[in-house]
Chain A
Amino acid sequence: MQALLHQILSGLANGAIYASVALALVMIFKATHHVNFAQGELAMFSTYMAYELIHAGVPYWIAFFLTLVFSFIVGVAVERLIMRRMQHAPELASVIVFIGLLLAFNGFAGWIFSFTMKEFPSPFASKAWYGTTYLSSHEVGMIGVTLIVLAIVFAFFRFTRLGLAMRAAAENRPSSRLVGIRVGWMLALGWGLASALGAIAGMMAAPVVFLEPNMMGPILLYGFAAALLGGIDNPWGAPIGGFLFGVLENVAGAYLVGSHLKLALALVVIILVLVFRPSGLFGRTVVVRV
Chain B
Amino acid sequence: MTAVSVASPIAAGGGRPRIRRGSLWLGALLAIALVGPFVVSGYRVFQLSQVIVYAIALLGLNLLTGFSGQISLGNGAFYAIGGYVAVIVMTKAGLPYWAAPPIAGAVCFLAGSLFGRTATRLEGLYLALATFGLATATPQILKLDALESWTGGNQGIVITKPGSPVTGLINDDQWLYLFCLAVAIALFVIAWNMVRGRTGRALVALRDHPIAAATMGIDVAAYKTIAFGVSAMYTGVAGALGVLITGFISPDSFPTLVSIQFLVGSVLGGIASIFGTLFGAAFIELVPDLAKKASDAAPQAVFGVVLIACMMVMPGGLAGLVYSVRARLARGTIRRHRAES
Contacts and interface: CB of A to CB of B under 8 A. Distances in A.
A260 B307 contact: no
B211 interface: yes
A266 interface: yes
Given A86-B311, A103-B304, A271-B133, A92 B121 contact: no
B295 A275 contact: no
A290 B271 CA distance: 28
A35 B4 contact: no
Interface string A39-77: 000000000000000000000000000000000000000
A210 B4 CA distance: 39
A218 interface: yes
B143 A93 contact: no
Contacts of B299: 107
Contacts of B248: none
A107 B128 contact: no
Binding site of A, secondary structure by majority: helix, strand, loop or mixed?
helix
Interface stretch (A108-116, A173-181, A189-197, A200-208): A108-116
A110 B260 contact: no
Contacts, number: 152
Interface residues of A, number: 50
A221 B133 contact: yes
B122 to A, nearest CB: 5
Contacts of B312: 85
Given A221-B132, A264-B137, A267-B134, A99 B263 contact: yes
Interface in A75-129: 82, 85-86, 89-93, 95-97, 99-111, 114-115
Contacts of A275: 118, 121-122
B125 A89 contact: no
B136 A261 contact: no
Interface of A: 33-35, 37, 82, 85-86, 89-93, 95-97, 99-111, 114-115, 213, 217-218, 221, 224-225, 228, 260-264, 266-267, 270-271, 274-275, 278, 290
11 contacts: A37-B132, A93-B3, A95-B125, A97-B308, A100-B305, A100-B311, A104-B301, A106-B300, A111-B301, A264-B137, A274-B126
